[in-house]
Amino acid sequence: MHLTIHTDGGARGNPGPAGIGVVIKNTAGEIVYAHGQYIGKTTNNQAEYQALVHAVKKAVELGGTEIACFLDSELLVRQLNYQYRVKDAGLATLFMQVVNVAQGFKKITYKHIRREQNTA
């Protein structure tokens, strides 16, 4: 099953109080899962990764096999596409969680979109 994932994470202050948002759609464009959550005090980049970790794990539960991920964090997209190294130890742990879950999918892509296209 093909699923489209939109995620976002952010912190007020950096670090500061943070939250994540996830929207997963099926091939018909219907929302099959939506989630928002306060995650405590963290950085923007950690929140972005935590949102994606949550989303890919949920995609497994939903039976997803081909996943298209849309993120407004250019850093994450470049790291997940192996264009940038992950230097921060905290981000490296989250990066590995995404990579490990992603190995179970037939196909997964990560694409950068502008913040305005990621409002849901």
**How far apart (Å, rounded) are the C-alpha atoms in residues 112 and 15?**
23
**What pTM does this model have?**
0.94
Q: Which of 65, 1, 7 is nearest to 35 (CA)?
A: 7
pLDDT at 57: 98
Give yes or no for a contact between 1 and 26, defined as CB atoms under 8 angstroms apart: yes
Q: What is the pLDDT of residues 25-45, one digit of tens each?
A: 999 999 999 999 999 999 999
Q: What is the pLDDT of residues 77-104, one digit of tens each?
A: 999 999 999 999 999 999 999 999 999 9
pLDDT at 14: 87
